[in-house]
Amino acid sequence: MRCPFCTAVEDKVVDSRESAEGASIRRRRECLKCGKRFTTYEYIEEAPLMIIKRDGTRQRFDRERIKTGILKACEKRPVSVEKIDEIVDEIEREIQRKADREIKSTEIGNLVMEKLYTLDEVAYVRFASVYRRFKDVSHFMKELQKFLE
């Protein structure tokens, strides 16, 4: 770290503490050349997660879009908002674990459908009908057959 006073590169860390609830580390340093102290902050570099949409365009990941879709699917169903938030958190964690910096929207849609399948059958079918773009009733009936079997 370069000293802001004399521009020397040799220093020692005098004190380190977590800052911003663990999101950064605050370090007190002392320049070995001039003896002056200064503070630095260390942060995790977060690269934005990008979503590759069906048409090939890219947009920044937005967890609120996932939550909105799930809320619409669960409308008038016995599913609490807390449970929906929990599912969105799980999906976001899985995406962060799987993805490097980009993930296809179809993968996200499949994750949502997996979660809704175990949560609420009606919500699952609602989401699937929009997500899979059912063309007619026969596609809809094929999806319902999964539950009837």
List b or e across 2-26, with b for residues whose CB sees 16 or more CB atoms inside 10 angstroms: ebeeeeeeebeeeeeeeeeeeeeee
User: pTM for this one?
Assistant: 0.63
Paired sense of beta strands 50-52 and 102-104, if any: parallel
How do residues 52-97 score in pLDDT, each as one tens digit? 998 999 999 898 999 999 999 999 999 999 999 999 989 988 888 8
